[in-house]
């Protein structure tokens, strides 16, 4: 299972894969907020990160499973083969030291808007 498949699916649905990196500038351009802050964190899919890493792996596996009907045509595989791929997902995430970014962007509405 490859993250490239996810990116392809998102792109085919006109989803901006880099949206997380644009939130702050979008809020700044809006002009209706002030005191805009941004916090970024990196979370990994590795069991060496303890319970959080294990939870991230399970969440990823569950998300892929729940989106199975979207992935099957993209991957061109049977349901059985897809489920086999899901079984290898935790090892793939771990072996590749996979991670994901989380950003929290917030501000305060300007009083005169």
pLDDT in tens, 24-55: 999 999 999 999 999 998 888 888 878 888 89
Structure tokens at 111: 């009083």
Residue 49 sits in which domain range?
A: 3-109
Report how far residue 44's alpha carbon sits from residue 61's, in angstroms, rounded to the nearest whole number.
14
Total domains, the chain:
1
CA dist 17 and 52 (Å) reads: 24
Task: Report, as an integer, the average pLDDT of 64-78.
Answer: 85
Q: What is the mean pLDDT of residues 4-32?
A: 79
- Over range 16-29, report the average pLDDT: 86
The pLDDT assigned to 25 comes to: 93
Residue 22 has pLDDT above 80, yes or no: yes
- Predicted confidence (pLDDT) at residue 102 exceeds the cutoff of 70: yes
What is the arithmetic mean of pLDDT over 71-76? 82
The predicted structure's pLDDT at residue 52: 87
Judge whether 102 and 45 are in contact, CB under 8 Å: no
Q: What is the pLDDT of residue 2?
A: 55
């Amino acid at each position: 299972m490859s993250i490239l498949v996810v990116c392809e699916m998102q792109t085919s649905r006109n989803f901006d894969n880099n949206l997380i990196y644009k939130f702050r500038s979008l809020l700044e351009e809006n002009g209706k907020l002030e005191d805009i802050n941004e916090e970024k964190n990196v979370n990994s899919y590795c069991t060496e990160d303890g319970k959080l890493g294990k939870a991230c792996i399970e969440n990823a596996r569950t998300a892929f499973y729940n989106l199975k009907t979207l992935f099957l045509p993209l991957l061109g595989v049977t349901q059985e083969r897809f489920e086999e791929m899901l079984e290898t997902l935790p090892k793939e995430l771990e072996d590749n030291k996979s991670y994901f970014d989380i950003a929290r962007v917030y501000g305060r509405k300007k009083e005169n808007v």
